[in-house]
Each structure stands twice: as C-alpha cells, then as structure tokens.
Structure 1
C-alpha cells in the first residue's frame, strides 16, 4: 500500500482491514445466533433511521424522491434482511450429496463456511441498497464486511459510518472514508471476496487490482439494456412501463432500459405515448419532488453532451417538458427526453446513458432486434414486450443478458429468489437471497468414509484384488 498519499488515512484503512482479517482467522465460523444478531442490528440501523437516511440521500442528489428511496432502497433492504434471517438456518445446514455406489455406505456432504473478510465498493445511484444488499449476503454467510461508499454521496456515507459504528464492532462491519486515496487502495486489499458495483470501465480497474491478490470478485456493472417492443405488444402499455423504467431515479439505474427497439410503423406513435406517460408521471415542472435530480454537474453536462451530439448528427429530440426553463438546470433536473433516429455514429448509442434520455430505434423484421442486441456487448438487462409466446421465446433463446423482465421493466431485480448479476462486460457473479449466501460462502466438500467400505483394496501390493475391483467399477460406471 502506498503510504505517501495521506498516510494516516491509508494506515487507518490498512489497520482496520488487518484487524478484521486477524479476527476472521481466529474465529473462522460464526454460529447462527451471531449471524442473526448482526442482521437484527443492521435492520435496526435502517428502521430506526429511515428519515435521516432519506434526507441524507436527497441532500447528495440535490433532490431524491422520498418515495423512490423508500421503495427502491429502504424496503428493499429490510426485505433482504427479513428473508435472510428467515431462511438462514436452512442455508447453513450441511447439504446431502449423492455418493457413488462403489463407495457406499460412505457419505458426502457440502458444508457452507464463511470466506473471511468481504469488501464492498458501493456506487452512488442507490447508495443504501447497493451498499447493504451485498453486505447482507456476506453477513448471512458469516463473514466480516468492510464497505467503501461512493465519494458522490458524502452525506449518506458520513451518516452510514456513524450509524454502523454505533451498532457494530470494527471487526464485524465497518464503513470506510470516501477519500480518493482510500478508494484507490481499497480494491488492492487482499479481501477474501470483493464486490464492486459501477461502470464497466472502473470495473476493469477493480478486477485488475483484485487480481494481484487472486481475490475473487463479483462485478455488478451496466451497459446498454434494450427494450424490445414486439408487433403483438400493447403499444400504450409498453410505453407506460418503459417510461417508468427509464425515469425511476431519473434514469440513474444500471438496469434501466437504455434504448427501445420498436416496429417502424409504430415508432412515432410509441414515442408520443412514452412522452405522454412521462408527463403524467412526473409532470412538466422541475419543482416536482417526485422527479429525482442528476447526481452532479459533471453528470448533467455529460447528458447535455449526449443530447447535443445526437441532435447535431440528425436525430429528432422529443422532450416531455419545456427544457428552456433555467430552473431545470438550477435544480440539476434533466427533462425527460426521447431521441428519435439515433444512429451508431452518435455517442448516445456508444455508451451507457445513465439518465432520462431514451433513444427509440425502428426495425422492420423480428430478426433485427435479436441481431442488433447480439452485435453489441451482452447487456445487464433485457426487456421484451408482446403477446406472441413463440417470438418471446426466440428472443430469450437467442440473446444472452444478465436478466430479463417480460412485459415490464426492472422487476426481475426485485425477485429475491432469483440471482442478480451480469454477463461479460455487464458483470460477473451474482447475489440476492440464497444466491448471495452461496457467493460469500465456501461450500466445502467432505467425504465420510465408512468402516465397512473396502477402499483398502486399492492399496498396493496390486494384484488380483485390483482386477476384481476394476471389473466392478467398470460395471458401475
């Protein structure tokens, strides 16, 4: 670790990590009651401080819809804790594994054990959910957890650090600082597992840093998640659901529909319906508190650049509000925007948008959306709208993505019994519910030999016994 950059902060990080690591080696397992107690304390951290957490997150955004924070973050995390607590005893139990006939009456078992110390590098867009959801899985698996919040959410990070420190020992669960040098050093610590949620570009750097320690990583990245509207879809219904999926958190969602592929003869009507639903849901005034602000001036300027580049290259811009009102920018709120006729030469089609801009692309033949998706990086999410089961199943079979919601957006992520994860450039590994428990556990295979088993027949000196055993094993294979 480089001690020349703000030495005290880095030494504090290093000391905290090694104290946690040492404790995990002295006490490598955590009984059920200890894990449940940690989960209960984490639940109280959230439930006792809902208002403070909501206010802190809103302060970081400029304005964050309190309703979105409640449903997408607070209730989501509380449900994860409740689910893990309810099922933890079963998850922790040794799993029976079939024993091959020739080894009977021996038995096989898989025994879940904690990995040790899990690191979580959290993003800014859902700071509570994406900080604590992986931590819940890690705690349920019996691990000790170190969390590094995003530097873009300083109010939330400071509050979470305070609240966690009041309920947890530093060798159980700790929240680090958000200084730049701490962020750079964090991924280089020799964790037993590391979780990163963020951009593909930064994910590569995190994976490279973790790889130097052979630290396994779970990467929750992003990309351009398509929404495919089939000819059999209810256009108005699809428009409403895509509008909601795009504008939740003002589009600052890793699984938001990034662009829509729509039948050519329905494109204009679809765009108008999307705009109408955007207006109905979030109004046309920047003062609407249901509509979330963009996280920073830099991100706002990036979105302006995407829109300007598309317009300059011939795309039609369709906005749901009068964007010339200076109060939009003053509140750091970006007017909901559709981009009609976006082409591959436009920056908006080359990088993840992560904001309330929705390119709408036409297609003529059903095979075109499949070919388009497969010609690009595998997305974190895919959305399909329609009533034709054969067409739906063809898209599901011929495209690969992190997850899919059919006839809606986002909701595959909320299914606690399903894993959440990406594929290729959109991520690797998965968590949520039991999947998180498995990710942060070592499933140790154990073979229990029986006193009645004749494995000693394999020992030398070799001779007739081996020949008989070979015939038996060939017969059984």
Structure 2
C-alpha cells in the first residue's frame, strides 16, 4: 500500500496545481483529451476497480460495482464529452431596453483548483463523477478519497496518475487528520460528500478562506406509498432502493410510510422480496457486507435499542448463520422495525444500512406531517397513481431530489441536478449542473460606441432631469 500523504505536502501540492493552472488554463482541446484518456483508462481497469472495492468491503457484488460505479462514471464522462462544446459557449443574456444598444453574455470560466473529499460507500463513482465535472469546467483537481476504502483509494491514485500530469490532478491519502487539513486549504471550490456531521466540520474548516463549498450529505429519505398504489410493486422497488449496497446509500430508502390497512401486507411483500433476492443468506454472493466493524456495531445498536423499547423487529434471516460468523464477515442481515416512535434511534439518525422502519398512517396529511417533522431529506420517493396526490406531496414537502414510483433513479439522470437542501446538502452536481458548479458564470456587459448612458451625468437639469424621471417610472 502507498503511504499516507504527509500533512506538510498538502499546501505545496495545492500551490503546484494552482500555479500550473494559472500558467495554462485548459482549453476545449485539452479538456476533451483529458476526458477521453480517463474514459479509456477507466474502462481498461474495470476489473482492478472491482477487485479493490470487493476487498475493501469484504465482499460486494461485482454486478453492484458495475451498475453503481462503472456504468454511472462512464455515462457521466460520455455525457460531458457530448455536451462540452455547448456548455463552454458564452450564453446570451438580455440587458433590457433601458440599456440598448448594449449587449451582455455569461461566460463559464474555470475557477482554478477544485478540492474533492469523496466517501467510502460508492468510492469510485462519488470521486470520479465530480472530478469529471471539474475537468470539463477547465479546472485542476486535488482529490482526497476515504480512508475506509484504502485499496480503492490506491486504485484511484494509480488510475489518475496514469491519465493526468501531477500538476493537473493530484490525490491525497490519509485519515481524519489529513481530511481536516485538506478541508482547510484555500481551494477555489471544495466538494464534500458524506455525513451531515462531518459536512458541518468541512464547512467550518473552509470558512476562514471563504472557500465556496458544495456539500452532498444525507438524511432520512422516506418512501411514501399512497393507498392506490399496488403493494407488491412498491415492495419490489423499495427493496431495490433499500438493500442495494446493503443500504449503504445516501439516497437509499431510510423508512417507509404506508396506509394503515395495508401495513402487514407490505411487510409480507418485503419479506417475499428479500427471500427471492438473497435466498437463505448463508453465503450471499449478491449481498454487500458492512464496510467495517464500527459501522456494524452502530447498526447492531439500533436494533438493540428497538428491542429494548419493545418494538417488533422482523429478522427473516436471523437463523441463516451463526452470529459469530456474521460479525466476523460483517454480514448484517436485512431487518424491519415496525412502528418505531420518533424517539427510537432508527428514527433519530440516518440508518445507512439494511434496517428498514415501517410506519403506518391514517391520512395523507398525517404522512406528510411525519416527513416534515424531520430534516429535509436528500431524496423522497412517493408512490401513487393519482396525479393530484403526488402533486400534493411534492407541494407540501421539500427534498433534495425525487423519484416518483421508483427509487434511486434520479441520481443517474445526468440532466437533473443532484444535491440536497439544508442538512442534506448545499449545491448540486451532475451534467451541466456540475459543470456550472465548478465554473464562475462570469457576467460580461458590452457597451456600444454610442450609448445613452453618456448623457446621464450631472448637472441633472432640463432634458437630463426629465429623462431620468421617465426611466425611473
């Protein structure tokens, strides 16, 4: 393994990246060439990526790696390549009749050096997708991957060293102390993806430099099933949004609300989905392990708390393997917690794991009120065929993003901005939105040779006085 980056190297590396960018800001040809090389190198190393991620997790399905890491990253690169020339063009802006015959434009200009702090749960996708946007926007990049996926971090360092000169893209490795020092560097823009608690620390570290920040955080993303939506279909789609990557997904379903008359039917349908997907879970090949022992213990504590409160905890795989084996291999079986109160730990924290609280509601107003009682989430998943009910949910709640009648899929739509609101995040990335995030949208006003503004100067008498009063009406 490559040694961690020395704290003393961080500032020097950022300065080297900034000096190189200032000397030669990437033009269209360079940006396109960089993205093409990245795509080719990444495709050639897909097997190495898969091996690194599986080793870091203890096990993760190669199919989940292909879907969530390889497919998403390559699609983002291809999308940027297809639209880059258009994104870079100045955008015409109206000046209004009062300023005729002047004209105006908005020029997307690169900002300089973008810092990226990426997480462990999707360690390639959530590092490279924002990097693609930053490169497309004409910046240099300093990346700090998560220390919880060290093999994947090394993979990223090797990949990016093959693609980019060291004064265009650099990678820092290390733990929380390196992350804290990294956050405090005077970047031209800083992106952090991770928990809300750490996001607050990153924002505080960036504040002395007034570094612009984009924070992609998390929260308790609800699925709300309206009374007219088929339970079996809802259960299948919620199961995909909950147990993909063993629930270790920032936009994964965190709890589900269902009309009271069909709560037990939903529980049965979810259990049916789990059995169909994972069999007996004795030696699961398609079920991801929990990233480390600390996260495993945290999740176990949530179930211990639920049992201590006398809540019904449904564990369909409780007898699938000895507990010692599950702990050693970090296999945390899916579990349902039925009707937890607001004081239960599963409702106090983002779960970020394979535990799903199931809550019932009597009226849609009650369900909406329960969603609004918590912080605004990163994602919301309403299920219903009645358009008026869906519009009502969208009008009376607010989330970072929404997929209607499914889960997760808005993340992969490149023309949709991806980002949270309040505790679930600040700013947005993906596609054109990511390009704009890492650009200065520079307003430029072009005055003509002859202009009426030449007349608007003291002394304000006669015709000048009349003209100003007319313009101000």
- TM range, smaller chain: over 0.9
> 1:76-87 maps to which residues of 2 (within 5 A)?
76-87=72-83
Distance (Å, rounded) in 1 between the aligned partners of 2:270 and 2:364: 22
Distance (Å, rounded) in 1 between the aligned partners of 2:468 and 2:343: 65
> 1:306-321 maps to which residues of 2 (within 5 A)?
306-321=302-317
- Asked if 2 retains the 8 angstrom alpha-carbon contact of 1:116 and 1:143, the reply is yes
> 1:171-250 maps to which residues of 2 (within 5 A)?
171-250=167-246
Equivalent residues, number: 469
Q: Output one character per residue of 1:145-201: Cα deviation in whole Å (capped at 9) or x when no partner.
A: 010000000001112112211221111111111244321200000001000000000
Q: Output one character per residue of 1:399-424: Cα deviation in whole Å (capped at 9) or x when no partner.
A: 01001111111111111100000001
Is 1:375 aligned to residue 373 of structure 2?
Answer: yes
In structure 1, what is the equivalent of residue 390 of structure 2?
A: 392
In structure 2, what is the equivalent of residue 264 of structure 1?
A: 260
Unaligned residue ranges in structure 1 (runs of 5+): 1-5
| 1:40 CA displacement | 1.3
In structure 1, what is the equivalent of residue 17 of structure 2?
A: 20
Distance (Å, rounded) in 2 between the aligned partners of 1:472 and 1:349: 60
Q: Output one character per residue of 1:216-240: Cα deviation in whole Å (capped at 9) or x when no partner.
A: 1100000101110111110110011
Distance (Å, rounded) in 2 between the aligned partners of 1:187 and 1:71: 30
Distance (Å, rounded) in 1 between the aligned partners of 2:80 and 2:15: 28
In structure 2, what is the equivalent of residue 330 of structure 1?
A: 328
CA 1:8/1:351 → structure 2, altered by over 3 Å: closer, same or farther? closer
Distance (Å, rounded) in 2 between the aligned partners of 1:237 and 1:452: 67
- Asked if 1 retains the 8 angstrom alpha-carbon contact of 2:115 and 2:143, the reply is yes
In structure 2, what is the equivalent of residue 115 of structure 1?
A: 111
In structure 2, what is the equivalent of residue 9 of structure 1?
A: 6
Q: Output one character per residue of 1:209-264: Cα deviation in whole Å (capped at 9) or x when no partner.
A: 01111001100000101110111110110011111110000000000010001111
Q: Output one character per residue of 1:436-476: Cα deviation in whole Å (capped at 9) or x when no partner.
A: 011010011111111132221013333224224214424xx
Is 1:361 aligned to residue 352 of structure 2?
Answer: no
Q: 1:406 aligns to what SS in structure 2?
A: coil
Distance (Å, rounded) in 1 between the aligned partners of 2:66 and 2:444: 44
Q: 1:212 aligns to what SS in structure 2?
A: helix
Q: Output one character per residue of 1:346-377: Cα deviation in whole Å (capped at 9) or x when no partner.
A: 11110000001100011111111110111110
In structure 2, what is the equivalent of residue 278 of structure 1?
A: 274
In structure 1, what is the equivalent of residue 461 of structure 2?
A: 463
Distance (Å, rounded) in 2 between the aligned partners of 1:7 and 1:79: 31
- Asked if 2 retains the 8 angstrom alpha-carbon contact of 1:286 and 1:331, the reply is no
Unaligned residue ranges in structure 2 (runs of 5+): none
Q: 2:402 aligns to what SS in structure 1?
A: strand
> 1:69-148 maps to which residues of 2 (within 5 A)?
69-148=65-144
CA 1:472/1:452 → structure 2, altered by over 3 Å: closer, same or farther? farther
Q: 1:228 aligns to what SS in structure 2?
A: strand
- Asked if 1 retains the 8 angstrom alpha-carbon contact of 2:241 and 2:253, the reply is yes
Distance (Å, rounded) in 1 between the aligned partners of 2:270 and 2:65: 24
Stretch of structure 1 that moved more, 322-331 or 276-285: 322-331
- Asked if 1 retains the 8 angstrom alpha-carbon contact of 2:280 and 2:320, the reply is no
Distance (Å, rounded) in 2 between the aligned partners of 1:444 and 1:464: 38
Distance (Å, rounded) in 2 between the aligned partners of 1:86 and 1:198: 29
> 1:439-454 maps to which residues of 2 (within 5 A)?
439-454=437-452
Distance (Å, rounded) in 2 between the aligned partners of 1:250 and 1:283: 15
Q: 1:255 aligns to what SS in structure 2?
A: coil
In structure 2, what is the equivalent of residue 473 of structure 1?
A: 471
- Asked if 1 retains the 8 angstrom alpha-carbon contact of 2:123 and 2:146, the reply is yes
Distance (Å, rounded) in 2 between the aligned partners of 1:8 and 1:69: 27
- Asked if 1 retains the 8 angstrom alpha-carbon contact of 2:180 and 2:205, the reply is no
CA 1:7/1:426 → structure 2, altered by over 3 Å: closer, same or farther? closer
Q: 2:382 aligns to what SS in structure 1?
A: strand
| 1:380 CA displacement | 0.5
In structure 1, what is the equivalent of residue 434 of structure 2?
A: 436
CA 1:59/1:142 → structure 2, altered by over 3 Å: closer, same or farther? same
Q: 1:329 aligns to what SS in structure 2?
A: helix
Calculate the TM-score normalised by the size of structure 1: 0.96
Q: Output one character per residue of 1:22-43: Cα deviation in whole Å (capped at 9) or x when no partner.
A: 222333x321001111111211
- Asked if 2 retains the 8 angstrom alpha-carbon contact of 1:275 and 1:319, the reply is no
In structure 2, what is the equivalent of residue 149 of structure 1?
A: 145
- Asked if 2 retains the 8 angstrom alpha-carbon contact of 1:323 and 1:335, the reply is no
> 1:41-56 maps to which residues of 2 (within 5 A)?
41-56=37-52
Q: 1:196 aligns to what SS in structure 2?
A: strand
Q: 2:170 aligns to what SS in structure 1?
A: strand
- Asked if 1 retains the 8 angstrom alpha-carbon contact of 2:117 and 2:193, the reply is yes
| 1:323 CA displacement | 4.1
